[in-house]
Structure 1
Amino acid sequence: MKRLIVTASFALFSSIATAAPDAFQASYTVTAKGLEMGTMTASLHYNNDGYTYQKITKANGLAALLSGDTLTERSSGQKSGATLIPNNYLHHHKNKRKDKKDEFTFVTPTQVNGTFDGNAYQLSVPKGTLDMATLELYLMDAMTLNKPMNYPIASRGKLQDYRLRKLGKETITVPAGEYECEKIEVMHQDTTRQTTLWLAPKLHYAIAQVRHKEDGDIIETRLQKYQ
């Protein structure tokens, strides 16, 4: 169940030019082995010169009864013209057995201070480093303007290099309807893992579907409603 919640959540900085996406709300179903295991909601809101992007994933049905899994992921920051500049990030994964949290702040463009699993850390990062949530917003922009999809990411007290590549166009059917999508692959260093995203141009390149394969299991997050 842990991987289900984390994958569903997969479910952005001033030195990288960007066109900020429009505000939106979306809901998704999360399935594993053909069974619906949870739901995810995602929303992007603007308030004056700030933004908040939040995703909440919850197990439902039998999965909720057995695990009680919930994941809250939130990024907030500034909107400077058309650029989103992340300031604060939270990744909080909780179930009946554990309560794990990664929370940090960009105190300067090159310094991150945070706590992961109860341990404080400081991390030096290059300008343009993003968090995992705002990465998705920058990806929407990269598709619109045909930019390279390589991003430095701060996560769990470490600096990671995220690289994605286009696989071509594909039309898919999800609960929200049929969409022609750009198919994108996350280039994992661990070759036993595979993550594929489908981004819908009709929805300003919002995520229509995510499929994650690992240890023989397939977990899918599929768009149910977008507005």
Structure 2
Amino acid sequence: MPFLTINPFHRKARTSQNKNISAWFIALSAIFSTSVFADTITPYRAEYEVSRKGSVQGSALRELTKSADNTYILTYQSDIEWMIFSDERNERAKFKISNNQAIPLEYAMSRTGTGPDKQYNLVFDQNKKQIFSSKKKHPLKVDWKADQKDLLTYQFQLRQDLKAGKTSFSYPIIDKNGNQRNYDFEVDGKETITLPIGNVETIRVKRLYDNNKRQATAWFAPEYDYLLVKMYKGKEGIEQFQVQLKQYDK
């Protein structure tokens, strides 16, 4: 490594070379703070079954892809039928990576089925530091936060933060009504669970609510690159639905 050789008899050369080495390490650090994090992101396709009280009522699909402009697209689709109730949802988030953070650019959601149909879009203008909604003529009247997330991007960030070894998480969210609030989570332990794909070692994460009326728990599997492999939602102790991984492809 000749660029590290320092001549002890020439102080000026040593000083100049030390500066070059320092600059090299600073540049290297900057590279690792962005591109290496992005390089660890693996596109995938994951299929799930959605059940209620042990009976399968539908299916869901979660997919992550990388675009040619170095942005990422995370989509989630679900199709559920239970008795006379039906619900079909499609969510799509576009984001980029900067300083180990997922930066939201666009979010879209549509829902059809029993009851009124719903559809809305959000655009995060990172230059103007404003958020636009398809439901409003003007930018949303919310404080701009650098770590602001949408309803899909925070799920991606939680997974990445879990991979980094974090045990508690808090994300400012813009919800479907354009309201700003925090979603808080904490690691609740490790657990081996049985899924349609077999037994899996997981890290269990619980969402923290202001009261005990609602429950939400998610299980992430390190052997599947910390993918979400199971999710449970309940209200007042009664199961609303459960999602379990049945197929995973990179």
Same-fold call, TM cutoff 0.5: yes
- Report 1 or 2 for greater relative contact order, CA contacts < 8 Å, sequence distance ≥ 6: 1
Q: Which string of whole-angstrom CA distances, capped at 9 and with x for unpartnered residues, describes residues 50-108 of structure 1?
A: 21100100014xx3x73341011110123458653210001222114211123111013
In 2, are the aligned partners of 1:105 and 1:114 still within 8 Å (CA)?
A: yes
Q: 2:77 aligns with which of 36, 42, 56?
A: 56
**TM-score, length basis structure 2:** 0.76
Question: 1:126: how far off?
Answer: 1.1
Are the structure 2 counterparts of residues 181 and 119 from structure 1 closer, same or farther at C-alpha, using a change threshold of 3 Å? farther
1:85 paired with 2:106, answer: no
Does structure 1 residue 151 correspond to structure 2 residue 171? yes
Query: Where in structure 2 are there 5+ consecutive unaligned residues?
Result: 1-32
Task: Pick one of 66, 87, 97 that aligns with 1:46.
Answer: 66
Pairing 1:212–2:230 present: no
Name the % identity: 23
CA distance in 2, matches of 1:99, 1:149: 32
* Root mean square deviation of aligned Cα: 2.3
1:221 aligns with 2:240: no
Which amino acid in the other structure matches residue 90 of structure 1? A
The size of the alignment, in residue pairs, is 208
Q: Which residue identity is paired with 2:190?
A: K
TM-score normalised by the chain length of structure 1: 0.83
Q: How far is the alpha carbon of 1:215 from its aligned partner?
A: 4.0
- Superposed, 1:61-210 pairs within 5 Å as 63=82, 66-79=84-97, 83-108=101-126, 110-116=129-135, 122=140, 123-147=142-166, 148-155=168-175, 156-210=177-231
In 1: Cα distance, 2:179 partner to 2:101 partner: 24
Q: Does 1:29 align with 2:49?
A: yes
Structure showing greater radius of gyration is 2
How far apart in 1 are the matches of 2:219 and 2:132? 33
Deviations 1:187-213 (A, max 9, x none): 012420000111000111111100111
